[in-house]
Amino acid sequence: MQESIPPETSPSNPAQEPFDLGSCTLDSGDHDTPFSNALRQLDEAAAVIGLDPAVLELLRWPMRELHVTMPVRMDDGKTRIFHGFRVQYNDARGPNKGGIRFHPEETIDTVRALAAWMTWKTAVLDIPLGGGKGGVVCDPKSMSTGELERLSRSYIRQVGRILGIEKDVPAPDVYTTPQIMAWMADEYSFMQGYNDFGVTTGKPVAIGGSLGRGDATARGGIICIREAARTLGIDLHGATAAINGYGNAGSFAHKLSVELLGMKVVAVSDSRGGIFNADGLDHAAVTEYKQRTGSVTGFPGSKPLTNGDLLELDVTALIPAALEGEISCRNASKIRARIVAELANGPTTPDADQVLRKKGIYMIPDLLCNAGGVTVSYFEMVQNTSGWYWEEEAVHRQLEKKMTAAFKAVHETALRHDVGNRVAAMIVAVRRVEEAIRLRGWV
C-alpha cells in the first residue's frame, strides 16, 4: 500500500524547467469576477470571427434577471430571511435551461456568469435551449431536511412566475439534489393546479426523471477524455487521473474513468482536503468512506495532500470538478497533466488558460466537457413532454452521439482558427446563437 507521494509525482518536486508566465501574474486578471471572465471569453471569440457589434452587445448582457427575498421558518421557530436569484441569459435558441445552486457565498455575479456559460454550452451541444441559472445564498450543510424543503418551496413560489417547460427549466447544481428538484416540481405543480413535473429536470425517476441523469455530467466528460486521448495518441489503459472535487460529478468521474477507460485514479479531494495513492484509489471504498465520515480525508492507506498539491500532480488527466478559479496564475505554470478536463464551471481563469496552452496541455473546456448534464436534462424535457420514457441504454447512446459530435466541432474549429479549445467552443456557440438571433429578426 502506497504511504507517500513519490518524488516524481510530488508537487514539491516538479521535475520541469522554469516556465515563462508571460502576462500571467497575480495582477493580470485572477482577481476578476466570474462574469468578467465570461465576458473576456466572449470578446476573444467575437474578435476572431469579427462578430457584429450589435450582436456582441446583446450577448454581453442577461436578457432578464430576478432577485428574490424569502422568509423561511426554521426548526427553532425563528424566521430567517434568504436571498436568491434567477438569471435568464439568452433564449434565442429555445427555453432557458440551467441549475440552481445553494451556496453560502453565492452572488449575482457568479449566477450571471453561469447563465452565460449555459447559453454557450447548450449551443455547443446543438440542443434547442438557451441559458439560465439560479442561486440561493445559504449554507445547506447547516440546515435540516425540513428547513431545506421549506427554502426550496419558498424559492419556487418567488421565481415560479418565470419558470415552465416553455420558459425556463432548472436542474440540480452545487448542493442541490434530485430531492430538492422534486420539492420544487411539487410546489410548482401546486401553484399551477395540476401536475407539471417538467418544470425541473434531474428529478427522481418516480416523478418523471430520466434514467442516466445521475452520472450524465461525468459520463460526458469521460467521453471527451477518451476522444482527446485518441486525438493525442494516448493509451488510457493504466493511465493516471486526479480529481479535484468529489461531489456528484467528481465521484462518478472516478467510477467511470476506471470502468470505461481503464484509468487509475491516484488522487481525489473535496472541500476539506485530498488523498493520494500511487496504486490507485478504489471508488466504492472511497465513496463509502466519504458517506460515513463526510470527507475523503483520512481514507485508510492514502497519503494526505492539499487541493493545491493535487492540481499539480504529474498525471495524464486532471479533472477539476469543484468550483470556479481553481487553476489561476498562482499555479498554472505548475500544472503537469497532459489533459485538463473541466467538469466544474469556470475552474480555469482566462490568463491561466493561455499558460496551459503554451505548455501544450490539451484543454477540454467546461462548455464542452461538463455538458453531459444539460444534454441528458434536455432528454428528460423531451421525455416529460412526450410522456414516453427511454431505457438507460438509449440515453447513453444519444449522449454519446451528442458529445462526440460536439467534440469534433470544437476540435476542428480550433484547428481552423489556430486557437485554443475554449475559444473554439465559444466560436461554435456564438455562431449558433447569432444565427438564431438573426433568423428571429432581433438584429
Q: Which residues have a catalytic role annotated? A: 133
Three-class secondary structure of residue 292 per DSSP: helix
C-alpha cell at 387: 410522456
Rounded to whole angstroms, the Cα distance separating 174 from 62 reads 21
C-alpha cell at 332: 498554472
427 in Cβ contact with 49 (< 8 Å): yes
Evaluated on CA atoms 26, 32, 33, 37, the torsion sign reads: negative
C-alpha cell at 155: 424559492
C-alpha cell at 173: 447544481
C-alpha cell at 335: 500544472
236 in Cβ contact with 225 (< 8 Å): yes
C-alpha cell at 19: 516556465
Match 493580470 to its residue by C-alpha cell. 28
For residue 308, list its beta bridge partners.
Answer: none
Distances (CA, A) of 152 to 129, 134, 429: 24, 12, 32
| Burial status of residue 52 (CB atoms within 10 A of its CB: 0-12, 13-18, 19 or more) | middle
327 in Cβ contact with 251 (< 8 Å): no
- The DSSP string of 160-199 is GGG-BTTTEEEEE-TT--HHHHHHHHHHHHHHHTS--GGG
- Give the number of residues written for the chain: 443
Three-class secondary structure of residue 150 per DSSP: helix
Can you say how many angstroms the Cα of residue 424 is from the centroid of all Cα atoms in its chain? 18
